[in-house]
A and B are shown apart, each in its own frame.
Chain A
Amino acid sequence: MTDPLLSVRNLTMDIPVGGGTLHAVRGIDFDLNRGETLCIVGESGSGKSLTSLALMGLLGKGIQRSADRMTFDGIELTKASKRQMRALRGGRMSMIFQEPMTSLNPAYTIGDQLAEALLLHRTVTREQARARAVELLEKVGITAAESRLSQYPHQLSGGLRQRVMIAMALMCEPELIIADEPTTALDVTIQAQILRLLYDLGREMNMAMILITHDLGVVARVADKVAVMYAGELVETGPVAEIFNTPSHPYTRGLLRCIPLPGKTERGKSLGTIPGIVPSLVGSVEGCVFRTRCPHATMECRGAIPQHHDGEHAFRCIFADGKRHSDKELTA
């Protein structure tokens, strides 16, 4: 087997806040091969955005990042120089953000901003860069691409802006694309279109993709691998089929019960919600973070939590089977 494109071990992020340290992300491990799609799911505040920003080297000043390993095509990102990171960002790995309305610079035309993405990494002329911009605008399904080049962001709708962001991220044909809830801010009617587009282009260019989304229906359709995050930890990760068929962490099962799945959820039956509150991550965090909401929680959940592996499928729980066969959850 070839080495994975992206390999992350023990990625941890601490944020000093008034009154202590917020242990926002703790001990993330995952691998991603070329051309694969990893979906990261988990409720808001679980550290999905921080994780993707850490990979891009775009964390804010106050956030302390550490990792035993964080390599991209063999390059150790935690040791890379600023110059090396700049060459990677936008060149070999790109990111699409959640906020299309504010992610484009209001002072420059679409054409300038698209061309810049190429000019920063390749020695091409402005004309070549603009030609590439037109090509990509067409690829992302924007009509009259040529004339869009001279438009400003405020003249475009949210959906169009996100298409432009996608085109911009693809200008240099990156090997990895990270999309952080790319459609959350958009109209429901165009969410599916944009995701479809992103996914198809990813396949076409054989890019590895990290897609952060709340939509488990989308995950089922596009993911090769799934990573489930809860309160700053990756509680379960594995191939998509295993996550959906044998969800092992109680939180994963909770998430799956919260969505209607075609063929799996009966019509009219109410969807589950996970009761309870997420613990504070300020100060020391010990034991299983999900125990405050887990129907199986015992005293032992306060101690060290083992990681169970079954091939690529891994999860953290004191129970070796994650209480997969218990019927306690159905009444919860």
Chain B
Amino acid sequence: MLQFILKRLGLAVLVAFTVSFISFSLLFLSGDPAAALAGETASGEDIEAIRRLYGFDRPMLVQYGDWLMSALRGDFGESYYFKLPVASLIGDRLGVTMLLGVCGISFALLTAVPLGVVAAIRPNSIIDRIALFLSVAGQAMPSFWFGLILIVVFAIQLGWLPPSGAATWKHFIMPTIVLGYYAMPAIMRLTRAGMLDVLSSDYIRTARAKGANETRVLFRHALRNAIIPVVSLAAVQMGFMLGGSIVVESIFALHGAGYLAWESIARNDLPTVQALILIFSMFYIVFTFLADVLNAWLDPRMRSS
């Protein structure tokens, strides 16, 4: 187990370095940063001055090392637009995004797992079909469109929920649904397939042969095994959700890190974009790593080998 975790950890660190380098290179891939910074009316001399001021004239690897060391210390430079430290900009907004992520994944799990279980108990039943429809719809419908429909129906037509902002818990309901719905189809289908598979296994027959009732058979014996891959999928989905939150936060004007990313891309605020990509990727890497560890911990076969 320890060996497995160390291996995964090593891999995660490797991926983290690669990602950090890519996000750093973005600065150069998107054109001459000094020119962009100087503005359209700047002269060649101004651009050169800025290039030296920001250190863009040094070799790229040196710049990367410099940037990475600062990033590790929590210093991501200064936002071109806000003229404020990027770290504090993001720090102020990350809480909203994380809250949204936790709500979103909880919503996804709380709807997808029960639906998947019921669908597996009664394959081809009405509930199975509804579940299938929801999951196909969830995959076919872009988040922004789904979000807009919700706003039109629940905020504008019915007036039940506020259309945007983050002032109260009510503001989080629609974003949670939209973000959670994004992860739901995959979780539901994996739960259903896992349960179908497990329910036809020999040890389920053994549980019944012992005299266990159906509830016990379903939850203690079947779900406990079927949920193992679902847990790691959920952890991975949690990483994906950070990407999804960029869209969701901008639809509902939630001032989180996702919304900041959206604005910063539009404003060409490279240090902020870079830092956000790095942070989002790190979250993703951490969640993927957690998924592996959770998987190993839940499955005794992996735990002891």
Contact = CB atoms under 8 A, between A and B. Distances in A.
Interface of A: 56, 58, 86-91, 94-95, 97, 99, 102-109, 116-117, 120-121, 152, 154-155, 165, 168
Contacts of B206: 97, 103-105, 165, 168
A58 B221 CA distance: 16
Interface of B: 201-203, 205-213, 221, 224-225, 228, 298-301, 304
Query: What does DSSP make chain A's interface, helix, strand, loop or mixed?
Result: loop
A105 B228 CA distance: 14
B118 to A, nearest CB: 16
- With a 10 A CB-CB cut-off, give which of B211, B213, B228, B298 has the most chain A CB atoms: B211
Query: What does DSSP make chain B's interface, helix, strand, loop or mixed?
Result: helix
A94 to B, nearest CB: 7
B22 to A, nearest CB: 39
Contacts of A106: 203, 225, 299-301
Contacts, number: 71
B304 A89 contact: no
B304 A90 contact: no
B211 A107 contact: no
A107 B225 contact: yes
Given A86-B213, A89-B208, A105-B206, 7 more contacts: A58-B205, A90-B209, A95-B209, A107-B299, A120-B211, A120-B212, A154-B304
- With a 10 A CB-CB cut-off, give which of A91, A102, A106, A152 has the most chain B CB atoms: A106
Contacts of A58: 205, 208-209
Contacts of B299: 106-107
A283 B292 CA distance: 52
B205 A97 contact: yes
18 contacts: A58-B209, A86-B213, A87-B211, A88-B211, A89-B209, A90-B211, A97-B209, A102-B202, A103-B205, A104-B206, A105-B221, A106-B203, A106-B299, A107-B225, A107-B228, A117-B210, A120-B210, A168-B210
A159 B110 CA distance: 41
A324 to B, nearest CB: 40
Contacts of B228: 107
Contacts of A120: 210-212
A90 B210 contact: yes
Which A-B residue pairs are the 5 nearest by beta carbons?
A: A90-B211, A90-B210, A102-B202, A152-B300, A89-B211
